[in-house]
Amino acid sequence: MAEIVDAKSERIKLSIPIIVGYLPVGLACGLLLADAGLTWWQVVLMSSLVFGGSAQFVAAALIAQNASVFEVFISVLLLSSRQALYSVSFGPYLKQAPNFKVAWLGYMTADESYAINVLKLQDNSRQKPWAINDALFVATATWLSWILFTASGALFGTFIQIPDVISNFVMVAMFIGILVPNLNNRMMLNTMLLTGVIAVILMTIFQSSYVIIMATAIALAVVFYFLKRQENNRVA
């Protein structure tokens, strides 16, 4: 009984910092999506299906610029593609768990809950067990909190008109806030610089809003090529 109580308290203890961190970001995201023209229930639907701060901020910027549905969809798909790998990476640690639970865990997982769950699963032991239900609790709690906070921001945004200068500032600040913490190694820094250079070059040639998508795809392909080449050299 004591072990069950400890497991539940551990889930809550690990979830709270993520939820608190989501509060300002989620409110800002909801405000910007509402300012771009989405209703509160559309924001709830997007947060439920996408669950990605960077993807939703990009969507808000594109919608505000009257981008096409296809452009928004492709941009969100590219930015959220890493989440498709979550279920696969959870597999080795959750071999006994039902496939639908592992798939559901991958669907609801964001970067923050993924980091916690992977570390706990890697450190899994009899003294500190971490099962699929524990991982699902953390993922679900953070997923629901993100939906709540973005919906609250959207509802708030329906009553207050945000000046363009403020929304533009918030958008840039949030992108910087998302980008900087991820620049923790040379590969990430090189990827950022490569994407920026390609985007500037393509913008001078095509002057199209599709440039960001093209630059991201090209940069990812180049990085993947060099990572694969590095791996092959290591094996050889």
Give the per-residue pLDDT at 2: 44
What's the one-letter identity of residue 37?
G
Q: What is the pLDDT of residue 119?
A: 86
Instruction: Give the per-residue pLDDT at 1.
Output: 45
pTM: 0.76
Say whether both 143 and 119 belong to one domain.
Answer: yes
Same domain? 26 vs 100? yes
- Contact (Cβ atoms closer than 8 angstroms) between residue 193 and residue 222: no
Q: What is the pLDDT of residues 159-195, one digit of tens each?
A: 877 676 666 676 667 667 666 766 677 777 777 788 7
Whether residue 164 is found in the same domain as residue 145:
yes
Residues in the chain where the model's pLDDT stays below 50: 1-2, 5
pLDDT of residue 149: 95
How many structural domains compose the chain? 2
Mark whether 29 and 61 lie in a shared domain: yes
Beta strand extents in 83-174 (DSSP E only): none
Give the pLDDT of residue 195: 79
Does 167 lie in the same domain as 155? yes
Is there a single domain that holds both residue 100 and residue 215? no
Note the pLDDT of residue 235.
57
- Alpha carbon separation from 181 to 18, 55, 156, 189, 204 (Å, rounded): 15, 16, 28, 11, 29
| CA within 13 Å, CB half, 138 | 28
**Would you state the pLDDT for residue 190?**
77
Q: Which domain holds residue 220?
A: 183-236
Work out the angle at residue 139's Cα, subtended by the Cα atoms of residues 154 and 30, and round it to the nearest 5 degrees: 10
Domain boundary among 134, 156, 181: 181
Supply the pLDDT for residue 225: 77
Distance CA 14, CA 29 (A): 23
